[in-house]
Structure 1
Amino acid sequence: MPASREDGGPLPAPAIAANGLRKSYGDKTVLDGVDLAVPSGTVFALLGPNGAGKTTAVKILSTLVRPDAGRVGVGGHDLATQPQLVRAAIGVTGQFSAVDGLITGTENMLLMADLHHLPKAEGRRVAAELLARFDLTEAAGKPASTYSGGMKRRLDIAMTLVGNPRIIFLDEPTTGLDPRSRHGMWQIIRELVADGTTVFLTTQYLEEADELADRIAVLHNGVIAAEGTAEELKRLVPGGHVRLRFTDPAAYRAAARALPEAARDDDALTLAAPSDGSQRALRSVLDRLDAAGAEADELTVHTPDLDDVFFALTGNPAVPARTAPAGAASVEENAR
């Protein structure tokens, strides 16, 4: 029976599934029993500090490195027994550009078309279409060494798409880009997913994961410290609260009596009631205000951002397991 979403519809079949993934280099364990499930047509972001094993995970999932243990399926194919079928289903854009700066943008594209054994006419057509899609037509006849960082990254992804992959691995694709180029890359990724492509993204930019990812996993010390949506992960760490502002001092005092755990600012007539940001927690605050006959003039929900989550999960193993979202692994569960 297929899994179901909260709205009752079936979940997309996993484009990538890994169970018990392990990899060591000498006495250094890089991946220590990693489980991953990436639904088709989504963006999955893998976060982690330098040396956490993000690039190793990408290399394994894209057939570049063999795991020491574990089972992996990519695009419905077994990584161990069907690597060629996996390679036919994927595209990879690494941390370092695969663009050859000595030849033109068009020549880079045609080289990829040859590697994919496309007929000459089809290769030229695909190259022209992708160069136009990535706004590189005007620069197509110039050596790639003359391109800006953002243009090289766009060409890199265009080259990745020559084989029409269903799954794309983007290993820190916006590293070194200026903010404008980074936002342009985000739009490209959104368009790829809108067309049904699955994107496996590694990044050190937490804002990038927050903006793009349907699900996020935090890799630390070779294990998945936590996984969930951005909002679920933000509830993992303390500091969330509901901020209530009043203009009526009497209503403020009534609310303070109803919410004794709330931090008070008597000068500003505001209360900050601890909350994990969930609908249930918000409803509890509102019910207690209603029972006290106190109406706030302004209500805002504040949750920790992904920076807070990242530092808590990778630098503070005391995050309580009970705060983890359903289906997410906590730091305590993975400590071993």
Structure 2
Amino acid sequence: DANSRLCMSSAVAGYTRSLGSDGPPCCYDDLDHCSVAFLIGTNTAECHPVLFQRLLKRKKRNPKGLKIVVVDPRETDTAKIADHHLAIAPGTDLALLHGLARLVIQDNGFDSDFIDAATEGFASFTQTINAWTPGKTAKFCGITEQALRAVGRLWSRKEGVLSLWSMGVNQRREGTAVVSGLINLHLLTGEIGKPGAGPFSLTGQPNAMGGREAGGLAHLLPGYRLVTNPDHRAEVEQAWGFAKDSIAATPGLGAWQQVEAMEQGELDLWWVAATNPLVSMPDLERVKNAMQRCPLVVVSEAYADTETSHYAHLLLPASQWSEKAGAMTNSERRVTYCPSFRPRHGES
């Protein structure tokens, strides 16, 4: 399993459930063409500063040509540049998205041609959101109905709506549902698959997208394929020259499932590379106790004295990205070749 399990797995599941594939349908150039930038669950100014500066420069060049909406309970540096800051109560973002969708339908701002040609389940979706009236949504989210309606009008009447999100959505309890709720707004309005429009997940680390594309998560195969899909398994078996049915049909263990397996004495070897689970995992004491039950814990690490390294039976020195050639895939799925520029250190 890969670190995306703790970072981006809600985006993976949301894209796959709503669009059939975990391939973000946007690129950075969309920032130069959108008329509305809808930021939710992201403090872009601090977490994606290069992207934020691109957005900020465009706003300064043409203040009327770009409306920025920020959905965040806090008044962050990102929220300070917003035309509309919806300071919703924590955990109410899915209700907000349902309320906006209802306003779009009420305002006749939906794209019926796109819905008929490219989507399914519209009738059941309208039943789901019907209860989220503007008054109920505003009260539940802790914002004014006027502010809600103003943002609803942007979704209904503007061409080029680009939504951007990160950990504030991905790492909440109902993260996958919120991702799907956001994508539903794009499907409802037809704001997807054209310049300046679409749902754009901002990855949490360099190459988080690359790990997903390479099949780094326990339920994935390379190229947005699923372990549980027999056609996908057959394609990879053929490409790799494997015998038919040699790839198991059952997904491997996710990161937390691996911890549970160690607790039960079901894991004989746990190999940790390029991550520090005794910082990033929840319930650290439980993880420590589980690791102590595993017969062999191997840690590949480039840094000395990390928390996880103290629980390793075998500690292997790892080289840094600068010490080896490789490829990195960013949020827009652009693959960059990264040559090494210094020799490896010691036995790494």
What's the TM-score bracket when you normalise by the shorter of the two chains?
Answer: 0.3 to 0.5
Richer in helix (by share):
2
Higher normalized strand content (fraction of residues): 1
